[in-house]
Amino acid sequence: MIGNRPSIRYRMPCRSGSDMLCRIAVVAWLLGLAACTQVGPDYRPPDVTISETWQIPETGGLSSSADDQAIWWQVFADPVLSQLIEQAYKRNYSLEFAGLRVLEARAQLGIAVGLAYPQSQRLVGGATRIGASEANANTGGGDLNYVQYSVAGDVAWELDFWGRFSRGIESADASFLASIADYDDALVLLTSQVADTYAAVRTLEERLRLARENLVLQQRSYDIADVKFRNGEDSELDVQQALTLLLSTEASVPALQAQLVQARNVLATLLALPTSEIAGWLGSESRIPSLPESIAVGVPADLLRRRPDVRQAELQAIAQSHLIGIAEADLYPSFALLG
């Protein structure tokens, strides 16, 4: 019995050359028959209608022309951003974990392919040294010592009669490709998070710089309003308004500083770096990344084809579809060759 299925085993002894040729012909016939038999459904992609145009007309520098820009962050022409994304690609743990899942899926594919070959092999060998006695050796009869070698083995091979192993290979292959799509999805998310966090850091740095400049100007405005009020040239209302604006700006500075620290910590986490080192990667020059005048986004159909999470979902559906064939093949008896 193999699993819960009835097993039909055929042992192939070899006595003569004609018997050997006959058995080879039988094996070839069985293998050919097994290769043509495959139970279970074949995957068929669903019929989905995808629009070839956007519902909203092209505005604001967006273009529906095709653009296969793998390193899309280079459109910002920011060398610091490019260095950060390269560092994240090398050090991010989530991306490394996704890469390890690819290696795991590839190993599972190798196991599935190996099941199509003989599943049990055993080889036993030995050597025996045989020699004459000392008495026989003194009679001058020559050297009667010799070594006898022996090798024996057997092989058990379950034929893929119902396509169980071939379905397993197809399922493992789809799972392997799905793991690659999952890696691509993790890479897209990582690069987008790094770029988004980097833009947030630069924006907060610029807001903090403007807030400090406004503090200087508003302090001067308050001092002027206070002097005028003391000299009777202005009302107390102007002084209170200037003071309110000054205190409001002062209160916004600590909040901006806290947000900037949080954004830098997020960026350090994405790059798997200590928080103390992220300032050195950002450098002293602060500049918000600027978008180009025109951005090619393609059409909805092309956008869906490029999305790795969509490819992963389809490949997972393919893998599950082939598992149905494996489950159905388990309902039938198995055929195995022993020799």
pLDDT tens, residue by residue, 295-316: 777 777 777 778 899 999 999 9
322 contacts: CB under 8 Å, gap ≥ 6: 40, 43, 167, 168, 170, 171, 174
Q: Which residues of the chain have pLDDT under 70?
A: 1-36, 57-68, 119-147, 149-154, 337, 339
Long-range contact set of residues 44-52: C-beta below 8 Å, sequence gap at least 24: 45/314, 50/300, 50/301, 50/304, 51/299, 51/300, 51/301, 52/299, 52/300, 52/301
Distance, CA of 14 to CA of 118 (rounded, Å): 18
Place of tokens 């928080």: 275
SS3 assignment, position 313: helix
Contact 132, 210 (CB under 8 A): no
What pTM does this model have?
0.74
Joined tokens for residue 229: 């009020």
